[in-house]
């Protein structure tokens, strides 16, 4: 499903305000609220529905598994066709959530970490509904919590999301490398982070997951203030992770800052595309449905077995 189709389907979905969700303490209830409403919306969409059995044939190419050759078609047409099946089920779905200090920032009543938690919970719940095995990794500069993927680990994962520990500076390379080593079975890995690092460094940290055969999606979560830099007052800006301060006159820097952020996001998108990693930028003011649609679109692409 392309992005236009997802947006069209989104019109029928129920909007879930992140700030409203923030007032719900139970993550499972949050996930259910999001996902159930989302699914109800889906039923009204004629274009969606990756769960239908769908198969097609394509010509055999050297290297294709001979077990996938459709011999009946061969019998009728005397040509080799490979049978393409419907999507896999019971896949591993692991959400890697960045819980570093920078994720604790938020201006609209919900922090990036809360948004990431809601998003992670919804994704896990949704995947669990799809009979996927769900797992969770929270990390800052190291792995804080690790819930191995399992069909019965949804509650553990939600519990782990609930007890995010003390804020610490974050890093992608170390924790994701560790995660890469731990995930022996291919699956879906969704990385939720604000990605404050150089694009090349981020790409190098995530690429190993892709190299290990995982389908990787990177959800880049940013606060609106980080994107638009809506600050008015000249002030000393303090880095949440390093504690460094810098006198800033926002009006004077806003344009340059925006261009830098846009360039950063564009560089990330380009690098991830090159590495066949799905990338999406999420504004914490945008309802979670949007994130789920994006996830579903990703799953649709990944569900096709070649």
Contacting residues toward other proteins, per CB under 8 A: 101-103, 105, 112, 194, 196-197, 223, 226, 231-242, 244-249, 251-253, 256-257, 260-261, 264
We find the least distance from the C-beta atom of residue 225 to other proteins, in angstroms, to be 8
Q: How far is 231 from 226, CA to CA, in rounded Å?
A: 10
SS (H, E, C) 117-174: HHHHHHHHHHHHHCCCEEEEEEECCCEEEEEEEECCCHHHHHHHHHCCCCCCCCCCHH
3/245 with CB nearer other proteins:
245
Q: How far is 17 from 293, CA to CA, in rounded Å?
A: 15
Site of tokens 């609106």: 224
We find the least distance from the C-beta atom of residue 272 to other proteins, in angstroms, to be 19
We find the least distance from the C-beta atom of residue 9 to other proteins, in angstroms, to be 32
180/285 with CB nearer other proteins:
285
β-strand partners of 143: 139
Contacts of 243 (CB under 8 A, 6+ apart): none
We find the least distance from the C-beta atom of residue 238 to other proteins, in angstroms, to be 5
| Cβ-contact 220, 194 below 8 angstroms | yes
β-strand partners of 192: 97, 219
We find the least distance from the C-beta atom of residue 251 to other proteins, in angstroms, to be 5
What does the angle CA 48 – CA 51 – CA 57 come to, to the nearest 5 degrees? Answer: 95
> Helix or strand or coil: residue 121?
helix
125/196 with CB nearer other proteins:
196
103/161 with CB nearer other proteins:
103
| Cβ-contact 86, 168 below 8 angstroms | no
We find the least distance from the C-beta atom of residue 71 to other proteins, in angstroms, to be 58
156/231 with CB nearer other proteins:
231
55/252 with CB nearer other proteins:
252
């Amino acid at each position: 499903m392309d992005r236009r189709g997802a947006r069209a389907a989104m019109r029928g979905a129920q909007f879930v305000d992140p700030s409203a969700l923030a007032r719900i303490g139970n993550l499972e209830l949050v996930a259910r609220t999001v996902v159930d409403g989302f699914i109800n919306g889906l039923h009204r969409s004629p274009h969606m529905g990756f769960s239908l059995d769908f198969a097609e044939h394509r010509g055999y190419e050297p290297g294709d598994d001979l077990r996938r050759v459709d011999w009946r078609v061969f019998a009728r047409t005397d040509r080799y066709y490979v049978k393409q099946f419907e999507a896999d089920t019971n896949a591993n779905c692991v959400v890697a959530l960045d819980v570093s200090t920078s994720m604790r920032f938020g201006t609209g009543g919900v922090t990036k970490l809360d948004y990431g938690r809601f998003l992670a919970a919804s994704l896990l719940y949704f995947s669990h509904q799809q009979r996927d095995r769900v797992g969770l990794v929270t990390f800052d500069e190291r792995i804080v919590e690790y819930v191995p993927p399992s069909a019965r680990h949804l509650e553990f994962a939600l519990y782990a999301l609930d007890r995010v520990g003390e804020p610490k500076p974050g890093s992608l390379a170390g924790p994701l490398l560790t995660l890469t080593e731990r995930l022996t079975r291919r699956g879906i890995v969704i990385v939720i982070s604000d990605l404050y690092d150089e694009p090349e460094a981020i790409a190098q940290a995530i690429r190993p997951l892709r190299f290990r055969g995982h389908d990787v999606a990177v959800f880049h979560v940013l606060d609106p203030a980080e994107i638009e830099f809506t600050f008015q007052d000249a002030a000393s800006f303090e880095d949440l992770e390093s504690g460094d301060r810098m006198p800033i006159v926002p009006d004077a820097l806003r344009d340059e800052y925006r261009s830098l952020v846009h360039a950063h996001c564009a560089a990330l998108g380009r690098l991830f595309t090159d590495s066949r990693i799905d990338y999406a930028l999420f504004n914490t003011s945008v309802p979670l449905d949007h994130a789920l649609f994006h996830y579903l679109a990703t799953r649709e692409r990944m569900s096709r077995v070649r």
